[in-house]
Structure 1
Amino acid sequence: MRHTPIDGRVMSQLSPSDNFSTDKLANKSPFALVALDDNGLICYANESAGHVFHTPLQELVGLSLDKLNQSDDVISALNHGVQAAVQSQKTQQNRIPIMCGSGLQYFQITFQPEKNYTSLYFQNVSSLVDKEHFLRSQATHDALTGLFNRQQLFTMGAQDIARSRRYKYPVSLLVICIDNIRQINQTYGYNMGDHVLISVSRVLQELLRESDYVARLDNKSFVISLLDASLQQTEIVAKRVMRAIEEQDIRIADTSIPVEILCGGAQFDSAQDQLFDDLLLRAENNCQSD
């Protein structure tokens, strides 16, 4: 039996149960659905597919995937999924970011090979991806400042030490301590103490090179990892940090909050430092006023 799809062309060789254009559930489904014929041309697209690809349905039908208004990476991923499904005759799945009319969205795409066509089901999983990103960020970042947390610092620090041993380039650490954070909390309250920590963290981020990173070590200290930097260069950075924080005017009402900063640095030395912990401990021990 033959049926006429939305653009007037004949969708041949499909049984009535396979003809998506006669299925109101498919047409009105919140999941985008596209079917490709044996020539790789779109022979069916439901209303949701038009929204996903920001293209009128009458223009979608008859196009190949290569003609979709998407990046080369997206088109390549779609073609790869179709080819894998057809060659294996098994269902394939892939998560692909697609630029829609509403912006960048993540879709879980199911590639289903059929007798005379291949169907592509697009399930929007952007909220799930956002949640995954949030959970990963929570595992590696400090909730208050947004900086890397202590655990991630030790993970990345160990990798830096391993690369330094292998490639023989210097790695240095700079520890920055808010020496009077306890007094700030007791005098002005913990909310103000948190505000000071956030303000200092922003200053540190602004001073970083692209190759460096900063982490929150504990309730009053931060660590900057300076890649390919000697101890002398670390001392220069320390002076910049002290000056930048001194220039910050952190206030509550009409009162300026004094922030006392101590800095200490250390350069990785294979003779002294067996682990990242050893380097960090030396930097912490050097964290004192002039």
Structure 2
Amino acid sequence: MIWSARQSTTITVFAMLFGLGMISILGYQVSSSYQAEVAQARARTDNLSQILEAQMRSALREVDLVLRDLEDRITPEEVASESLGEAHNKTLQSLLLDKLTLVRQADNILLIGPDGVLSHRALDIGTAMQPFDRAYLDQVRDDPYRERLYARTAGKTQDGLLLARRYETPQGAFGGLVAASVPSAYFNQVLENLDLGRHGFVMLVDEGGSVITQRASGKGDEPFKAEADVLQQLKSGALSGGLTVIRHANGATRLVSYRQITGSPFFIIVGMSSLDYLATWRDNTLYYLTGGSLLLAMALMMIYFFWRSHRLARNLQQKESRLNVSESRFRQMIETIPVALVLARLPECFITYINQQAARTFDIPQAGALSLRAADFYLNSEDFREQLQAVGQAQGIRNIEVRMRRWSGESFWASLSMSSVAVGEEITLMIGISDITERKRLEGELKRRATTDGLSGLTNRAYFMEVANQELARASRYKRPLALLMLDIDHFKRINDSYGHDVGDMAIKAVAKVLGGALRDVDIVARMGGEEFTALLPETSPELAQAAAERVRTQIEAHRIVLGDGTVVQFTGSIGISALRPEDQLIDDLLKRADVALYHAKHHGRNQAVVYDAIPHPS
């Protein structure tokens, strides 16, 4: 075929334009894929730091809750003195051991006197540690507003953290510390399973930038040092949440995410190297450039020989190929994300697509969901209507907790985000769902531990005081009767000394069982500490309270504990009773009068129930 000069010029210009267009497309593909890889790595780094911060915050919060409970149950006198008597020391150590079992991240719980001397600890063995130094202790003593304290510990084999709460005497003076030691082994265990790539790292540092623990994947990489100005900005609140920065070292780019552990002076630092997160991108870029060059050469040849005959077919083929690649990538991305995704068409809200994670979450085939509405997955369809209305009024909703249900009917807790997007002339509702049932269960368990006595299963002292004061306020407001029982096991020390603390614990559990069976469901029963119990009886006069106390006393007297060797252990209990008076403001008023009645019962024969108002008082 002979081409005219005009035709040749036209084909040449077209070929040049086509070549430039192909180069632009390749450049755009390389640039966009690079930006996508960097954005994905940045999001992954930030998400990983958020997850680690949440884990560390939860661990420190759990330890602090245990220390707060000990702070309420142990007096400053017990903290200051290590010579309380063998029996008292054993009881105190037993209490510390009970609390230590509640926090797997701690390896010991300590009591430190106001002079900085270690007075008591849960375990006499384990990692040797250095308590707070004298200068730091003087600083704590002079600053009564520092309720929670943190310090580094130095052991013979490993380092860790010391978390403490401050004691104050009734006169407001510094009374010592209750502290828990968290070894670095716990933090190492949290960090060891992280996927950081060959050159990534993660660090736990204090506010001065000193490393508490770290994990670095690469060998020979330049060690990363925390930037003091970033830590200071996070500490001062100038940066809310966290900060992800870009740093260059050893010919590579690092994405470094800083995040402060809420409520503490410690920071999580997670870093990822471009040597890892751009490795696949570099290979793909090489393939793209090689393939693009070949395609360009072939396209130029095809334009030269078959331009007029195959122009339409070639353009259609290229468009179809790009569309298929885009659709394949989109579906692959949607199907592999770890979040359940539901797409529904507005305004009918019929489901048009769910990914595999959503199918597993709702226990339904992907195809089976296409005949349903989005509201069918809600336990309460009213929740869906409210969220849909909120999406219409704003840009979307993020991470709200809602009850949903699987196709089998089983309900579960979910964290849900919802937004709408216009696709052509249609508006699509996008719903992202994460199953948080296990997290909600752990929150409930933590609440139960904070309000329940571990040995007896009854309400603990702190929770009892809170609920009892509310009940007292209700009774005072409506002029209703209210009574309080204070019970103490007679000769409890003799039981421990004669049969051992295990039998003493059995006696405490037996009394708790008797109280639960002899009293009403509306009565509030608690173990106040040691062998002492309290029961608040709403809507109960002093006469009815004395009858209930006698019922409890006789059942305790009739109870028998049979040991493994056939030995029968029996015991009795003394009970003090007080009733609500118009001038009572707090439950402490009833407790004081019941304690006086209990004291009278103890010193006038034991095994009896005494009403405070029946005790003869000197005029």
Q: Given the two structures, how large is their TM-score scaled by the length of structure 2?
A: 0.41
Rate the CA distance shift 1:67–1:197 in 2: closer, same or farther, 3 A.
Answer: same
Give the match for residue 114 of structure 1: 421
Distance (Å, rounded) in 2 between the aligned partners of 1:141 and 1:206: 18
Give the match for residue 31 of structure 1: 339
Q: Which amino acid aligns with 1:92?
A: R
Distance (Å, rounded) in 1 between the aligned partners of 2:376 and 2:399: 22
Please state if 1:58 is matched with 2:58: no
Q: Which amino acid aligns with 1:228?
A: E
Please state if 1:92 is matched with 2:401: no
Please state if 1:263 is matched with 2:575: yes
Rate the CA distance shift 1:17–1:98 in 2: closer, same or farther, 3 A.
Answer: farther
Distance (Å, rounded) in 2 between the aligned partners of 1:21 and 1:37: 22
State the secondary structure of the residue aligned to 2:416.
strand
State the secondary structure of the residue aligned to 1:24.
helix
1:232-285, Cα deviation, whole Å (9 max, x unpaired)? 1111211221233334332221112222211121110114x3321111111122
**Any conservation in 2 of the 1:91–1:113 contact (CA below 8 Å)?**
no
State the secondary structure of the residue aligned to 2:511.
helix
1:22 offset after TM fit, Å?
5.2
1:79 offset after TM fit, Å?
3.2
State the secondary structure of the residue aligned to 1:223.
strand
**Any conservation in 1 of the 2:375–2:384 contact (CA below 8 Å)?**
no
State the secondary structure of the residue aligned to 2:520.
coil
Pick from 439, 444, 459: which aligns with 1:128? 439
State the secondary structure of the residue aligned to 2:418.
strand
**Any conservation in 2 of the 1:175–1:265 contact (CA below 8 Å)?**
yes
1:18 offset after TM fit, Å?
10
Distance (Å, rounded) in 1 between the aligned partners of 2:508 and 2:405: 37
State the secondary structure of the residue aligned to 2:529.
coil
Give the match for residue 46 of structure 1: 355
1:96-126, Cα deviation, whole Å (9 max, x unpaired)? 2344459553221122332322222221222
Pick from 203, 218, 222: which aligns with 2:514? 203
State the secondary structure of the residue aligned to 2:456.
coil
Pick from 495, 501, 511: which aligns with 1:184? 495
**Any conservation in 2 of the 1:84–1:92 contact (CA below 8 Å)?**
no
1:26 offset after TM fit, Å?
2.8
1:202 offset after TM fit, Å?
2.3
**Hey, which of these two has a bigger chunk of helix by percent?**
2
Q: Where in structure 2 are there 5+ consecutive unaligned residues? A: 1-322, 609-619
Q: Which amino acid aligns with 1:96?
A: V
Distance (Å, rounded) in 1 between the aligned partners of 2:483 and 2:501: 32
1:126-181, Cα deviation, whole Å (9 max, x unpaired)? 23222222222232221222221111111112112211121111111111211222
Please state if 1:105 is matched with 2:105: no
Q: How does 1:148-187 map to 2 (within 5 A)?
A: 148-187=459-498
Distance (Å, rounded) in 2 between the aligned partners of 1:32 and 1:247: 59
State the secondary structure of the residue aligned to 2:535.
strand
**Any conservation in 1 of the 2:556–2:572 contact (CA below 8 Å)?**
no
Distance (Å, rounded) in 1 between the aligned partners of 2:491 and 2:519: 24
Greater C-alpha radius of gyration: 2
Q: How does 1:207-218 map to 2 (within 5 A)?
A: 207-218=518-529
1:53-89, Cα deviation, whole Å (9 max, x unpaired)? 3333322213123434x64x3x322332233123212
Distance (Å, rounded) in 2 between the aligned partners of 1:216 and 1:20: 63
Aligned positions, number: 272
State the secondary structure of the residue aligned to 2:371.
coil
Pick from 381, 386, 402: which aligns with 1:80? 386
Rate the CA distance shift 1:213–1:90 in 2: closer, same or farther, 3 A.
Answer: same
Rate the CA distance shift 1:119–1:263 in 2: closer, same or farther, 3 A.
Answer: same
Give the stretch that moved more between structures: 277-286 or 132-141. Answer: 132-141
Distance (Å, rounded) in 2 between the aligned partners of 1:270 and 1:17: 80
Measured on the aligned residues, the alpha-carbon RMSD in Å equals: 2.7
Distance (Å, rounded) in 2 between the aligned partners of 1:196 and 1:127: 35
1:183 offset after TM fit, Å?
1.5
**Any conservation in 1 of the 2:342–2:430 contact (CA below 8 Å)?**
yes
Q: Given the two structures, how large is their TM-score scaled by the length of structure 1?
A: 0.83
1:16 offset after TM fit, Å?
8.9
Distance (Å, rounded) in 1 between the aligned partners of 2:536 and 2:324: 65
**Any conservation in 2 of the 1:20–1:27 contact (CA below 8 Å)?**
no
**Any conservation in 1 of the 2:483–2:540 contact (CA below 8 Å)?**
yes
Q: Percent identity among equivalent residues?
A: 26
Give the match for residue 243 of structure 1: 554
